[in-house]
């Protein structure tokens, strides 16, 4: 376990990194948003583009509930990890992990139904409904994957590695934009491409989150944590 002086030193060392990457993440998100809106309108048209923020808005409402659950879990897990009490931390982590997995599995039928009927509810033209369905499905599934990955990312938060979390957020944006531009450039631009890009980005970032959360912990700490598991 770290003593008080080493914790303070770690905080002073990490603060500039966390602050800089947070600012960069904000600026990248802002610039990509400014770039994507006219790009979507030029390639998809105004009518089709209107469905993109709609799909995002639905996930944002669900995110309010999920984030409240994650915040309560993160608080206690962070305290136990900092104390080195891996027995309690393991119980909290497993509870959170399987709880989020259960929520995700139970949500799948609802997600499929909502994704299918949303284009009908908003009177999307018949020739675009299947494409809109794939957009909503991909976007909501990517949100669930990101939420599930957030459970593994708690260790980064607990050890004050917010810089890594910000880098993952930036990577998610670049991967998403890269896949969208690649698909739009080589194929006819479709709404489903955006849903696919969201899904691919969330899967890659999920794998990276699990990897970073494991290698960030020192070897003795990791072995002790694994032994409790």
Q: Compute the distance between CA of residue 131 and CA of residue 55 in angstroms, rounded to an integer.
A: 12
Cβ proximity of 221 and 203 under 8 Å: no
Average pLDDT over residues 204-229: 66
Q: Where are the domains of the chain?
A: 4-228
177: which 2 tokens?
């934009």
Backbone φ/ψ region at 50: left (φ over 0), alpha (ψ -120 to 50), beta: alpha
> Which of the two residues, 80 and 19, has the higher pLDDT score?
19
pLDDT cut 90: percent of the chain above it:
22
Q: Compute the distance between CA of residue 172 and CA of residue 180 in angstroms, rounded to an integer.
A: 12
pTM equals: 0.81
Report phi then psi at 217, rounded to 5.
-75, 140
pLDDT at 175: 94
Cβ proximity of 131 and 192 under 8 Å: yes
pLDDT cut 70: percent of the chain above it:
83
Q: Side-chain half-sphere of 122: how many Cα atoms within 13 Å?
A: 18
pLDDT at 2: 40
pLDDT digits (tens, 9 = 90+) for 105-135: 887 787 788 777 877 777 777 888 888 889 9
């Amino acid at each position: 376990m770290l003593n008080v002086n080493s914790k303070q030193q770690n905080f002073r060392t990490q603060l500039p990194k966390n602050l800089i990457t947070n600012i960069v993440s904000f600026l990248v998100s802002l610039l990509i948003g400014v770039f994507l809106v006219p790009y979507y309108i030029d390639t998809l048209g105004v009518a089709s583009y209107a469905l993109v923020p709609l799909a995002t808005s639905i996930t944002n409402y669900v995110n309010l509930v999920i984030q409240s659950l994650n915040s309560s879990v993160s608080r206690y897990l962070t305290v136990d990890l900092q104390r080195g009490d891996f027995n309690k931390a393991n119980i909290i982590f497993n509870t959170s992990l399987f709880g989020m997995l259960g929520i995700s599995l139970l949500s799948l039928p609802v997600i499929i139904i909502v994704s299918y009927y949303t284009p009908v509810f908003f009177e999307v033209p018949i020739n675009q409904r299947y494409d809109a369905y794939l957009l909503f499905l991909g976007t909501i599934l990517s949100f669930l994957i990101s939420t599930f990955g957030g459970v593994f990312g708690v260790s980064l938060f607990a050890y004050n590695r917010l810089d890594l979390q910000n880098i993952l957020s930036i990577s998610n944006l670049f991967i998403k934009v890269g896949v969208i531009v690649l698909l739009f450039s080589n194929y006819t631009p479709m709404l489903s491409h955006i849903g696919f890009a969201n899904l691919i980005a969330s899967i890659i970032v999920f794998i990276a989150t699990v990897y970073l959360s494991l290698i960030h912990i020192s070897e003795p700490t990791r072995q002790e944590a694994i032994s409790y598991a």
